[in-house]
Amino acid sequence: MTISVKPLDGPLGAEISGLDVRNITAEDSKALLDAFNAYHLLILHGPTITDAELVDLGRCFGHIEKARVKSPLSDRDDIMVISNIRQNGELVGSLPDGEMSYHFDRIHQAQPCKGAALHGLEIPVEGGDTCFANMVRAYETLPEATKQRIEGLKALNTFTYGATKRDGKTDELGPHAIHPLVRRIPETGKRALYVCRLMTDHIVGMPEEESAALLTELCDHIEFSGLIYQHRWSVGDIVIWDNRCTSHARTDFSDKERRLMKRVTIGDTVPPLQ
């Protein structure tokens, strides 16, 4: 059965149907990768699959990286568990509770990841949605004067593990990396804005107040100008995103409800290019 790719009625993304996730062919893999490069975000509605099947799906887009922390809810070291579930009072997953600001995964590292595939297993009745911003369109819709102003600029990106908002980060300089404010996607040649509210600290070589004002302007543009797709999860959903040209965030949800997601991280070999 040939898979179907249906673009969403929104700023990015496509729904995938007709895919047998348990028997992905070479033809399927190519079609998925082509759709990934074209739409930046892919959505599959069920069924619930195994950790091994999630890894196999992720491999359609690149090599799979090991998770930073292994969870007792998976016997694999390449599965990241995102959950607020606790066993004997201890968390069994990462990033457990509440809202999370817009960010790129691993932008604070010299080699950020290419993307990720996230699988919904236990979903709150309300909240816990994942929001995705189209950063190609974010760059394309900037005023020309702003495009010229940020051309060639770079920014320092930092992260405190476990922080979900900027004010949750510490002042201590931990893992960090300098990347261009605008990066080019090798497969398409398109350019994407590459800043985020959670992790981008300051613009290199720019006075502090000017840098803060420009970053606020850019982040406001990203988050409030019709560039967002908000995914309301159902059990079994799998969402795959291009981390090079989408940033993402999470809406708040009650800490009295369980949320369980499993994720594979798709590695990259090309650092952000200007």
Q: In the prediction, which pLDDT does 96 show? A: 78
- Please tell me whether the peptide bond between 11 and the residue prior to it is cis, using omega within 30 degrees of 0: no
**226 in any annotated domain:** yes
Cα dihedral sign, 250-112-206-201: positive
- Whose CA is closest to 104, among 8, 15, 219, 26? 219
**33 in any annotated domain:** yes
Query: Tens place of pLDDT for every residue, the chain, 274 residues?
Result: 689 999 999 999 999 999 999 999 999 999 999 999 999 999 999 899 999 999 999 999 999 999 988 999 999 999 999 999 998 888 888 877 888 999 999 999 999 999 999 999 999 999 999 999 999 999 999 999 999 999 999 999 998 876 776 766 566 677 899 999 999 999 999 999 999 999 999 999 999 999 999 999 999 999 987 999 999 999 999 999 999 999 999 999 998 999 999 999 999 999 999 9
- Whose CA is closest to 177, among 157, 191, 202, 151? 157
- Whose CA is closest to 42, among 29, 52, 23? 29
**271 in any annotated domain:** no
**236 in any annotated domain:** yes
CB 108 within 8 A of CB 176: yes
Query: Cβ neighbours of residue 150 under 8 Å, at least 6 residues apart?
Result: 142, 181, 182, 214, 218
CATH code of 115's domain: 3.60.130.10
Q: In the prediction, which pLDDT does 251 show? A: 96
* Radius of gyration of the chain, Cα coordinates, nearest whole angstrom: 18
**258 in any annotated domain:** yes
Q: In the prediction, which pLDDT does 30 show? A: 97
**272 in any annotated domain:** no
The domain total for the chain is: 1
**83 in any annotated domain:** yes
User: d(Cα 271, Cα 157) in Å, to the nearest integer?
Assistant: 14
- DSSP, res 111: S
**132 in any annotated domain:** yes
Whole domain around residue 160: which residue ranges? 4-266
